[in-house]
Amino acid sequence: MRRRHELLNGTAPAAQPTAEEDCTAGAATTGALRATRGGDTDMSDHKRIRVLIAKIGCDIHERGALTLLTSLRDAGMEVIYTGRYQTPRAVAMTAIAEDVDVIALSDHTASLPIIADSLLAALRDCGVTDIHVIAGGLLPPEHVLALEAMGVTGNYGPGTPMETIVAHIRGIAGAAT
């Protein structure tokens, strides 16, 4: 987390690679949708979990992502939705700029291992290793195994109860349920 805050605050050492400096230059927020309950008047002592829902590539199916957005918002999380047609680099930059705890990838083209691998590489290129990545969509069993081997957790298919997803995100983000 310290590394991410250094990137956000501009306090990282000056000898960083250009690619890493580029990670703080901006984010793909055009068309992004933010959803919260309670607004800025929430006086609780705990930090609200921040989740970025991302659709990388050409998948046009967003009903699952929008349902997840609403469910996570209703569970008290702050949710940012990138919209469709994002690149891995744009999602990584948005995750850094928004200081999210979790990136939730959504895809219904059975391409999640490829998408997750490219996103994880983009995060590594930016020097970020403390953002959790989960995935959901069309997931054949062999894809679940590949995603878990990469460190992507909570690989959910259609019909997964929202309570299961919410509990998983709370668990990996370190928040009390």
DSSP string, 74-114: HTT-EEEE--SSB-HHHHHHHHHHHT-SEEEEEESSS-HHH
DSSP reduced 3-state for 155: strand
Check residue 6 and give its pLDDT: 53
Report residue 139: phi and psi, to 5°. Answer: -130, 95
Which domains are seen in the chain, by residue range? 2-35+47-173 (3.40.50.280)
What whole-number distance in Å separates Cα of residue 33 and Cα of residue 15?
A: 35
In 3D space, the residue among 159, 163, 161, 171 whose CA is nearest the CA of residue 132 turns out to be 171
53 bridge partner residues:
81, 104
What whole-number distance in Å separates Cα of residue 109 and Cα of residue 57?
A: 9
In tens digits, the chain (177 residues) has pLDDT values of 444 555 555 544 433 444 555 665 554 444 455 555 454 444 455 689 999 999 998 888 888 889 999 999 999 999 999 988 899 999 999 999 999 999 999 999 999 999 999 999 999 999 999 999 999 999 999 999 999 999 999 999 999 999 999 999 999 998 433
Residues 6+ apart with CB under 8 A from 162: 67, 68, 71
What whole-number distance in Å separates Cα of residue 28 and Cα of residue 66?
A: 18
Q: Which two tokens stand for residue 46?
A: 């705990």
Residues 6+ apart with CB under 8 A from 145: none
Check residue 59 and give its pLDDT: 83
In 3D space, the residue among 88, 84, 77, 36 whose CA is nearest the CA of residue 58 turns out to be 84
Check residue 57 and give its pLDDT: 87
